[in-house]
Amino acid sequence: MPESTVQQMTFGPLTITYDDSVLEPRPWTRAQSLWARKLLDDAPAGRVLELCAGVGHIGLLAVHGTDRSIVCVDLSPRACELLGANAAANAMAGQVEVVHSDLARLPLDEERFALVVADPPWVPTADIGRYPADPALAIDGGPQGLDVARACVRAAGACLVAGGTLVLQVGTPEQAAALAPDLEAAGLATAEVRALERGTLVRADRH
Cβ-proximal residues to 105 (8 Å cutoff; 6+ apart), any chain? none
- Using DSSP bridges, classify how beta strands 200-206 and 188-195 pair: parallel, antiparallel or unpaired: antiparallel
3-state secondary structure of 106: coil
Question: Is 189 in a helix, a strand, or coil?
Answer: strand
CA–CA gap between residue 148 and residue 118 (Å, rounded): 10
Q: Note down pLDDT in tens along the chain; length 207 residues.
A: 345 789 999 999 999 999 999 999 999 999 999 999 999 999 999 999 999 999 999 999 999 999 999 999 999 999 999 999 999 999 999 999 999 999 988 888 789 999 999 999 999 999 999 999 999 999 999 999 999 999 999 999 999 999 999 999 999 999 999 999 999 999 999 999 999 988 999 999 998
Instruction: Give the single-character DSSP code of 138.
Output: H
| Inter-CA distances, 191 with 14, 99, 179, 204, 207, Å | 29, 29, 13, 5, 11
* Neighbouring C-beta atoms of residue 2, cutoff 10 Å: 5
Q: What does the alpha-carbon distance between residue 85 and residue 56 come to, in Å, rounded to a whole number?
A: 10
Q: CB of 86 within 8 A of CB of 106?
A: no
Please give the pLDDT value at position 3. 59
* pLDDT score for 106: 87
Q: What is the rounded distance in angstroms from the CA atom of residue 180 to the CA atom of residue 52? A: 20
How much is the pLDDT for 26? 95
pLDDT value, residue 1 = 39
Q: What is the pTM of this model?
A: 0.95
Burial (CB count within 10 angstroms: exposed 0-12, middle 13-18, buried 19+), residue 196:
middle
